[in-house]
Structure 1
Amino acid sequence: MASPTSPHQPSPIFHTMPTLSFVSLLLSSPIKTIHRNPLCHPTGFPTLHYPARASLTTPSPSTPSPSTPSSPPSPYPTSEKLHSPSKTALYDVLVIGAGPAGLSLSSALGERQLTVACADPQLHAPWPNHYGVWEDEFQKVGLADCATARYDKTTIYAGHNKIVLDRPYIRVDRVKLKQRFVDRCNHARVTMIPARVTDVDHRSRQWSLVHLDDQDLTIRARVVIDCTGHALQFTNASGKNGYQQPWAQAAYGVEAVVNGHPFETDEMLLMDFRDDHAIGDMRAASDRRPTFLYVFPSGERRGFFEETSVIAPTAVSFEELKKRLERRLEHSGIVIERVIEEEFSLIPMGGSLPRRGRVVGFGGAAGLVHPATGYMVGRTVKLAEQLAETIGRGLEEIGEDEDVERVAQMGWDVTWNVGMLRQRDFLKFGAELLGTLGMRESCAFFDAFFKLPEDLWIRFLGYELDSGGVRGMFALWFFAIADNEIRIRLLRGIVEIGGWRLIRSVLPEWMSGWQGE
């Protein structure tokens, strides 16, 4: 489930499924935060903010324990100094959006001695989403200390069998994480512009004219990068073979003080598919469109409780998710005494990738969300360094007078080269297969998934099945340990869902060819 780059960002899936993207929000009183009134993408999805249950260093001794209740996010501290934008200045790069993608990329670009501006009307607003990530992923990018809680173990209930993963999970301190990136931007002298970009005019081969809603301010930039999330404000969603509607992950959750709960405070509950609470009409609905519980315990009487639909062709409604969560908590004897924060999350999954144009997409605007889990933040932060290096090298190579279109295409190659496209085909097959399964089959699917060798399921969740051979090994191993019903669904899915895209995803790149998305 993801976070905002501008007014757009997401929440996680496999909440490890991370809760990726929580819909557009309003921060109300300090006691309760309600996210509502989403702006709508032409496809019908709300503009999103991207969350992460994804990825960064070894926690410091001061990292809060899971038993310490986390406080509601404090007002986001403004930077001490904003470098004023100039109408006459020519920036090397303009980044649109100040979510995890926008700020991590802006700071990485600035650290490479490029002149960078970052524009977002919500520049000083806190990120609204609850991020959860695997600790080792955040360790890789040096951010594991940005945590309000650390859980030594992660648990899953695929049916009534408890699966314990010896892989620590952290709850991200969204205020600290944003401040970390803002500090890096300030140190790199990135110009921070608290305004909305309204239009990008490519009137020159060497630069673009960017219009903002702040007193008709316009600036010039050689490269423009869209980090505004899944709304695709400045990139085009029409793929080579026509637009394909994304599927969706939806979640409803509350941060609350309760009378008590049965969950271990040192364990993060990633997925709980137990559905003894589903009786009457809810039983048939639960069997047809399975949902699971996701919990960050914060002591004995507080936690974040979320009901999540992994993926479906059409999103399970927030009303239905809220009803299921309330019934589930009631069945467990959990009484909510005070709601601190309410959260709605909707994440587009799969679908068409943006068209490679002169505006480079990054984060949600590049379709970087994991098509089967909803994870994005960890991968995005890692890719920010690579993209910044590529943009910097490209601008140096072309000099001041050549067409910047070449640099834009170099940027797109970082996120969507042939290898990444083939891996997406493979992951997308898994997502669309999962979206057709009922409750019993979903439990069987995840029971088999987490019986895979740890390296394989970690690589799947981390978007790191990075060769046809590894993907082929994953498929064969999963088929071997799955039950017969899942095997039958896999065989049918190869014909009905995967087709040539799935077959070429397990071939060497030189055999699979380009053939676009």
Structure 2
Amino acid sequence: MSRQFDVTIVGSGPAGTALAAACADEGFATALVAPFPRRPWRPTYACFADELPADVRRRAVRSRSPRVRVAAATQRWWTDREYCVLDNAALAGELRRDSVTLVRGRAVGAEHGPGGSRLRLAGGERLRTTVLVDATGSSSRERGEVPAQTAFGLVLPEEEARRLVAPDEAVMMDWRPPVPGSATATFCYCVPLGDGRVLVEETSLVRRPGLPIVTLRELLHARLRRHGVRVSAAQASERVWIDMSAPRPAPRRVLRFGSAAGMLHPASGYGVAAALASAAPTARALARHWAPGPRAAVAGAHGVLWPPAARMVHALRTRGREALLGLSPRQTSRFFEAFFGLPAELRTAYLSSRHDLVGTMSAMLALFGPATPDLRARLVLGTMLARP
């Protein structure tokens, strides 16, 4: 006989685990399905501290940087928002609930009926559930030439990384080329990990297709050598590939959440904080709309995730991403020089708020106005060619 649950979530990353915890807290019989549901999370997750739920901010932060350095033509330091790296083990401990049933298996399909869904797992097991959630993350590279953010990083001892980053700061973006005359637009990203080590990454913000990891590794090595940092001192490496093409989903029988729902910032690739902050409101929406049945519950939760303002902000950010795709390295440096100089409230609106339509539009207009004619032309062209 197949097992029965109120909510079944496929995907055990931070987004799926956070939503499972929130659903369990609402009293739902909740299952979390993944091939290895307790596998540790390996990526380095970072965000501005004010984007996090209060309990995560208190108990699951690995390191904090009161200053954020950015650089394009000039260098600036932002001190208005603390930047932090999450402690993956502490975050998992904060989010896991004994009442959530962990199901080890790979989802291969589902059938839907008036009263719920039946999830099929490889091996033949079937799980009955009222609401089915897809929290499996963004798609794989097999989708082809999608816009992607890629990065290659090395973990270095603090004393070695000091040539690139001060002890009390994080380097969010340093667009100065890794070697003079570089024809590839990449930036350096440095964050302290809180244990005497620093992650230093060479990052390509968004390209179609993503810049190959091997190219980023070569550029990072060149940057480190230029600053006198010993590549041989590296203690670990990190590879990043983020599909930036995930569209905003329409409400159907399966509720999408996290990266699978297109909740990544279409231009920057940030998304974990948004998923953590959205988990409890989504679970509450399921509870409010539960009585009429699964269709109403999914539609209600989708409405909380994607109210009109969020849909419009997502569309604007997507057009902004397409504009970035068409910029030359020189134009990219100019663009970010202008962005880094925006007032703090406009930077915050564009980078962090999924619902601030006025702030997002104001930030984009503030960037467009003082742009040079060639940069303005590229921004207009990229926006007009944006894919839906």
TM-score normalized by the length of structure 1: 0.69
Residue 167 of structure 2 is aligned to residue 254 of structure 1: no
Partner of 1:35: none
CA displacement 1:36-90 (0-9 Å, x = unmatched): xxxxxxxxxxxxxxxxxxxxxxxxxxxxxxxxxxxxxxxxxxxxxxxxxxx4542
Whole-Å separation in 2 of the counterparts to 1:211 and 1:321: 39
Identical counterparts, % of pairs:
27
Partner of 1:195: 105
Partner of 1:221: 129
Q: Which residue identity does 2:338 align to in structure 1? A: A
CA displacement 1:222-261 (0-9 Å, x = unmatched): 11001111138xxxxxxxxxx9974111111111348723
CA displacement 1:311-365 (0-9 Å, x = unmatched): 1121110110000000110111100344332211111113544453211111111
TM-aligned CA deviation for residue 107 of structure 1: 0.8
Please give the secondary structure, in 1, of the residue aligned with 2:172.
strand
CA displacement 1:152-187 (0-9 Å, x = unmatched): 10001113x1110012111111111112111xx22x
Partner of 2:371: 482
- For the Cα contact (< 8 Å) 2:148–2:242, is it kept in 1? yes
Partner of 1:445: 335
CA displacement 1:435-472 (0-9 Å, x = unmatched): 211222111111111211111111110134523x4444
What are the residue-to-residue correspondences of 1:287-436 with 2, within 5 Å?
287=183, 289-297=184-192, 302-350=197-245, 352-395=247-290, 397-398=291-292, 402=293, 404-436=294-326
Question: 5+ unaligned residues in a row in structure 2: which ranges?
Answer: none
Residue 176 of structure 2 is aligned to residue 274 of structure 1: yes
Please give the secondary structure, in 1, of the residue aligned with 2:334.
helix
Please give the secondary structure, in 1, of the residue aligned with 2:26.
coil
Whole-Å separation in 1 of the counterparts to 2:22 and 2:237: 33
Residue 116 of structure 2 is aligned to residue 210 of structure 1: no
- For the Cα contact (< 8 Å) 1:449–1:478, is it kept in 2? yes
Residue 20 of structure 2 is aligned to residue 106 of structure 1: yes
Whole-Å separation in 2 of the counterparts to 1:197 and 1:107: 20
Change (3 A) 1:133 1:451: same
Q: Which residue identity does 1:200 align to in structure 2? A: A
Partner of 2:95: 181
Of 215-224 and 411-420, more deviation after overlay is shown by 411-420
Partner of 2:52: 138
What are the residue-to-residue correspondences of 1:148-187 with 2, within 5 Å?
148-159=62-73, 161-166=74-79, 167-182=81-96, 185-186=97-98
Please give the secondary structure, in 2, of the residue aligned with 1:222.
strand
- For the Cα contact (< 8 Å) 2:213–2:239, is it kept in 1? yes
Change (3 A) 1:365 1:256: same
Question: 5+ unaligned residues in a row in structure 1: which ranges?
Answer: 1-86, 233-242, 502-516
Change (3 A) 1:449 1:144: farther
Please give the secondary structure, in 2, of the residue aligned with 1:221.
strand
Partner of 1:48: none
Q: Which residue identity does 1:264 align to in structure 2? A: A
Count residues with an aligned counterpart.
383
Partner of 1:10: none
Q: Which residue identity does 1:383 align to in structure 2? A: S
- For the Cα contact (< 8 Å) 2:350–2:359, is it kept in 1? no
Change (3 A) 1:415 1:299: closer
TM-score normalized by the length of structure 2: 0.91
Considering only aligned residues, what root-mean-square deviation do their CA atoms show, in Å? 2.5
Q: Which residue identity does 2:298 align to in structure 1? A: A
Please give the secondary structure, in 2, of the residue aligned with 1:143.
helix
- The structure that is helix-richer by fraction is 2
Q: Which residue identity does 1:497 align to in structure 2? A: L
Change (3 A) 1:123 1:207: same
Change (3 A) 1:173 1:408: same
Please give the secondary structure, in 2, of the residue aligned with 1:308.
strand
- For the Cα contact (< 8 Å) 2:139–2:243, is it kept in 1? no
Please give the secondary structure, in 2, of the residue aligned with 1:380.
helix
- For the Cα contact (< 8 Å) 1:119–1:193, is it kept in 2? yes
Please give the secondary structure, in 1, of the residue aligned with 2:302.
helix
- For the Cα contact (< 8 Å) 1:106–1:118, is it kept in 2? yes
- The structure that is strand-richer by fraction is 2
